[in-house]
Amino acid sequence: MMELEARCQELLNKLLMSEDYIKIQDVAKENNISKRSVYYDLCKINDFLNAYKIPEVNLERSKGIYLSDDQKDKIHKIVKALPVQESVYFSPMERVKIIICTIVIRKHPLFIEDFMNYCKVSRNTIINDLKVVSSKLNEYGLTLHYENKIGYLIQGDVIRSRALFFLFFPELAEFYRNGLLPIDTDSVDSNLQKLDYIEKTLDTKFVEETLLALANFIPVLEESEDELSFSDVDKNTITNSYEYKLVNKKFSDLKIDEKIYLTLHLLGSRLQSLPFDVMNVDEDQEPYELAKALVSEFSRIACVEFDNVEEIERSLFVHLKSSLYRYRYGIQLGNPLIEDIKIQYPELFDLTKKAVEYLIQQIGVPINDNEIAYLTLHFGAYITPNQNEEQMNILIVCPNGLSTGNMLRGEVSALVPHADSIDVVSLSEYEDLKDKYDVVISTVLLDDHPNSMLVHPILTDADRIQILKKCMRTTIKTQMSTEDIFDVVKKYVDEDKQMVLKEDIKRYVDSLNTVQYHPLKDNSKGLVDYLNEDTVCFCAEDIDWKKAIHFSGKPLLDKNKIESRYIDAMINQTRLLGPYMFITKDVVLAHAKTEDGVNELSLSMGLFEKEILFPKDKSAKIILVLAAEDQVKHLKILKDIMKIFSNDNYKKTLFTTDSYEEVMQEIKALLMA
């Protein structure tokens, strides 16, 4: 039986799930490979199809690739019987992570030959990989060490070296499930059952990959002779927790410190299933105050006013309450969605990262991009437009965690505003609920619902179009159906051409449903699209801060982009809250609420020869006035502003010129840097 490699299987699965053309360049970008590699994978897929007497993948210039319904039916019949290709190709970074994980949980000496066998590459490749491994370990204050007869070891802080396993294993979990990782699984099922008991007893949910990682790591805890260090105060707090009592019950053979370590992982991996009204004010004061401050900082930086500010504060409070354990003890959760988040929501990620700088200052320890990506999901779930009309019930199946599920629900709400209800459930809850919903959107493959679709946890543009088509087709099928049109026109076409006609009709009907909308991206314009000779103004006079705000906002007022009351609102906000709108020592980003008089998204910039004195000994030489018409479309402008004014080079030109051309030239140069 002919077999497909993992990447080819993934592309074939994508074609099976897609209801439209898939562009070659989109596949290349998504997998970070060349278009030539995609064509090479297509050749392998076509060889596979030929072996089973199935027509090759359809390829049309300028449109892309697709499979007909007839092809899909034939492929579905054989794909279920296919084994996973054991000779799967691991990417260079996947090999690095496999090497680190196997060293951390090693039960016997590990040598180059072992890594060659695990990763199925040559000796020279592994030698180069080990150099990258060493460099990666150095980032965490660890070193790769080799001794004869002992093999490769990781030296340094025990907590940090263990943390790397939990950082990387979730990204390798699918390989593990397919039996492609060299990890002893003898006790995994038993450990998973114990962890499942703890999860149900706590009436909470843990990220599924985290439980799988813990189940694989517990044998290390059982045999460990490592000395772990915890403060007495933290020990008392942790050993008095309900989580610890359950760990003590189910894993009684562990040393006390290892029980504490396992408890820390459970406390740090817990998803937000804790009731919001159950909060001990004294015990939870620090994370609650940090959550409030983080929301306030994000609102200030992103120029967003949340209508449900208390709800997002409480959501972040629950997240931070458990996350503080991770921050302080180096317990890190891997986030396999991080690259997707950075690509799909670059502005939101960058703004969240900027807001998190305040959190880092308060707790005194760094927060990595994995955690920032999770916080991005929290903000994204509340910043996404959410409109509903009663027409359709949609179920989202997402085992990646509630914050990811909420993000998906927010996007789907914006994509399908006529939905009656959009609910998020875990995979274990799906079976009992699936028949109650018209459409099922899942991040894992399901094949037992007539209107189910597979999407990425972080939606791609292709996912959005697929959702729109599926949902719109469900609601308009009584108005325009492929079958109805085909029944009318088929009698005018020769029988041997009818199947081709039907495919053309289907693609045409599908194209009517294609609506491109990305609620957190929206193809927004950047800063240079809003600055021109009319909106960039220079002032040589010595004026007070109130007149300076008037001066900077006047170009927008003259063009009817804002109303005069919007300028009054910015001044009143400064009087009330102080100079909170400073984004650097010398730059003010003045703004107010949309309902205070915004007619259209717009931006102006005032440059002052003499310093403008603000309350509390603040001074500025640049005042940007931003008028945001919603919570989304201005995010690209803000990303550009943050990039320009985080580089001190802006002072060289913007502080010393009254030339519009020089100002714009410098801004464009800073954006390109």
> Does 631 have pLDDT greater than 90?
no
CA angle 109, 110, 114 (to 5 degrees): 135
Pairing of strands 618-627, 602-614: antiparallel
| CATH number among 1.10.10.10, 3.90.420.10, 3.90.1150.10, 3.55.50.30, domain 92-177 | 1.10.10.10
pLDDT band for position 330 (cuts 50, 70, 90): low
Q: Tell me: the pLDDT tens digits for 36-76?
A: 778 888 888 888 888 888 899 988 877 889 999 888 888 87
Higher pLDDT, 104 or 307: 104
Q: Tens of pLDDT along 258-284?
A: 998 898 888 766 644 333 333 344 457
Question: Are residues 52 and 7 in contact, defined by beta-carbon separation less than 8 angstroms?
Answer: no
* Phi, psi at 627, each rounded to 5°: -115, 105
Is residue 136 within 8 Å of 173, Cβ to Cβ?
Answer: no
Range of weakest confidence among 193-207, 324-338, 405-419, 647-661:
324-338
Mark out the alpha helices in 121-207 (DSSP H runs): 123-139, 158-177, 188-202
Distance from C-alpha of 397 to C-alpha of 388, rounded to nearest angstrom? 20
More confident residue, 516 or 640: 640
Q: Is the pLDDT of residue 233 over 60?
A: no
- Domain 6-79 and domain 92-177, same fold? Reply is yes
* 3-class SS of residue 636: helix
Q: For position 270, what pLDDT does the model report?
A: 60
pLDDT band at 150 (very low <50, low <70, confident <90, very high): very high
CA distances from 462 to 177, 185, 245, 456, 516 (A): 27, 37, 47, 10, 9
| The two structure tokens encoding residue 319 | 């997240």
- Other Cβ atoms closer than 10 A to 604: 28
pLDDT score recorded for residue 81: 53
Q: Cβ distance 386 to 312 under 8 Å?
A: no
3-state secondary structure of 571: helix
Helix axes 188-202, 208-223, angle to 10 degrees: 120
Q: What is the pLDDT of residue 391?
A: 56
Q: Which two tokens stand for residue 377?
A: 């999901």
498: enclosing H helix or E strand: helix 498-512
Weakest-pLDDT range from 1-5, 340-344, 359-363, 498-502: 1-5
Give Rg (Cα) of the chain.
28
Q: How confident is the model at residue 250 (pLDDT cuts 50, 70, 90)?
A: very high
pLDDT-based confidence at 552, cuts 50/70/90? very high
Q: What is the pLDDT of residue 88?
A: 59
User: Position of tokens 């970070």?
Assistant: 32
| 455 has pLDDT over 50 | yes
Length of the chain: 673
Region of 584 (left: φ > 0; alpha: ψ -120 to 50; beta: rest) is beta
Q: What is the pLDDT of residue 286?
A: 82
Q: What is the mean pLDDT of residues 545-561?
A: 96
Ranges 138-152, 440-454, 596-610: which has the least confidence: 440-454
| CA 37 from centre of chain | 26
Average pLDDT over the chain reads 81
**pLDDT the model gives residue 400:** 66
Which H/E stretch holds residue 393? strand 392-397
pLDDT level of residue 465 (50, 70, 90 thresholds) = low
Res. 87 pLDDT band, cuts 50 70 90? very low
Q: What is the pLDDT of residue 19?
A: 78
Position 332 scores a pLDDT of 56
State yes or no: pLDDT of 520 exceeds 60: no
Residues 6+ apart with CB under 8 A from 598: 561, 562, 566, 627, 628, 629
**pLDDT tier at 231 (50, 70, 90 boundaries)?**
low
Q: Which CATH number fits domain 6-79: 1.25.40.10, 1.10.10.10, 1.20.1580.10, 3.40.50.620?
A: 1.10.10.10
The pLDDT value recorded for residue 117 is: 86
C-alpha span between 457 and 439 (Å, rounded): 17
Q: Please give the pLDDT value at position 97.
A: 92
Angstrom distance (rounded) from CA 260 to CA 249: 13
Comparing 210-214, 233-237, 478-482, 494-498, the range with the smallest average pLDDT is 478-482
DSSP string, 185-242: -TTHHHHHHHHHHHHHHHT--B-HHHHHHHHHHHHHHHH--PPP---HHHHHHHHTSH
Q: How confident is the model at residue 669 (pLDDT cuts 50, 70, 90)?
A: confident
Q: Which residues on neighbouring strands pair with residue 606, listed in sequence order? A: 537, 623
Using the predicted structure, report yes or no on whether residue 312 has a pLDDT greater than 70: yes
Alpha carbon of residue 550 to chain centroid: 39
Instruction: Using alpha carbons, select from 96, 110, 183 the residue that is nearest to residue 138.
Output: 96
Identify the band that residue 537 occupies on the pLDDT scale cut at 50, 70 and 90.
very high
Question: Which tokens belong to 281?
Answer: 């004010």
Tell which wins on pLDDT, 423 or 485: 423
**Range among 91-95, 249-253, 497-501 rated most confident:** 249-253
CA 369, CA 210: separation in Å to the nearest integer?
18
The domains of the chain are located at 6-79, 92-177, 188-269, 285-300+320-378, 392-512, 527-672
Helices then strands (H, E): number in the chain?
A: 28, 12
Of 646, 656, 624, 662, nearest to 530 by C-alpha is: 624
Of 269, 297, 279, which is closest to residue 210 (Cα–Cα)? 269
- Which CATH topology does 527-672 take? Mannitol-specific EII; Chain A (3.40.930)
26: left (phi over 0), alpha (psi -120 to 50) or beta: alpha
- pLDDT for 495 equals 81
Of the spans 117-126, 233-242, 357-366, 389-398, which averages the highest pLDDT?
117-126
DSSP letter at 56?
A: P
Higher pLDDT, 1 or 611: 611
Q: Is the pLDDT assigned to residue 333 strictly greater than 80?
A: no
Greater pLDDT, 48 or 191: 191
pLDDT at 428: 82
Residue 328 pLDDT > 80? no
Q: How confident is the model at residue 514, as a pLDDT?
A: 44
| pLDDT: which is higher, 145 or 387 | 145
* Contact (CB, 8 A) for 209 and 128: no
At 104, list the tokens: 């951390």
User: Cβ contacts of residue 411 below 8 Å, gap of 6+?
Assistant: 384, 459, 464, 519, 520
- Assign 30 a pLDDT band (cuts: 50, 70, 90): confident
452 pLDDT more than 70: yes
Share of the chain above pLDDT 90, in %: 30
Task: Give the DSSP H/E element, type plus range, for residue 602.
Answer: strand 602-614
- Do 484 and 508 touch, CB atoms closer than 8 A? no
Tell whether the model's pLDDT for residue 3 goes beyond 80: no
pLDDT of residue 478: 41
The Cα–Cα gap between 241 and 249 comes to 13
- Per-residue pLDDT band for 461 (boundaries 50, 70, 90) equals low
Cα distance between residue 268 and residue 206, in whole Å: 9
pLDDT tier, 501 (very low <50, low <70, confident <90, very high otherwise): confident
Q: Look at residue 354 and tell me whether its pLDDT is greater than 70.
A: yes
> 283 to each of 203, 397, 632, how far by Cα in Å?
21, 34, 36
CA 204 – CA 192 distance, rounded (Å): 15
Distance set, CA 624 to CA 502, 553, 595, 638 (Å): 56, 8, 19, 11
pLDDT of residue 336: 59
Average pLDDT over residues 537-565: 95
Contact in structure between 405 and 443 (CB atoms under 8 Å): no
When the candidates are 3.40.630.30, 3.30.450.40, 3.40.50.2300, 3.40.50.740, the CATH number that belongs to 392-512 is 3.40.50.2300
pLDDT digits (tens, 9 = 90+) for 391-445: 578 999 987 666 778 888 888 886 776 678 899 888 888 888 888 888 899 988 8
Distance of CA 484 to the CA centre of its chain: 41
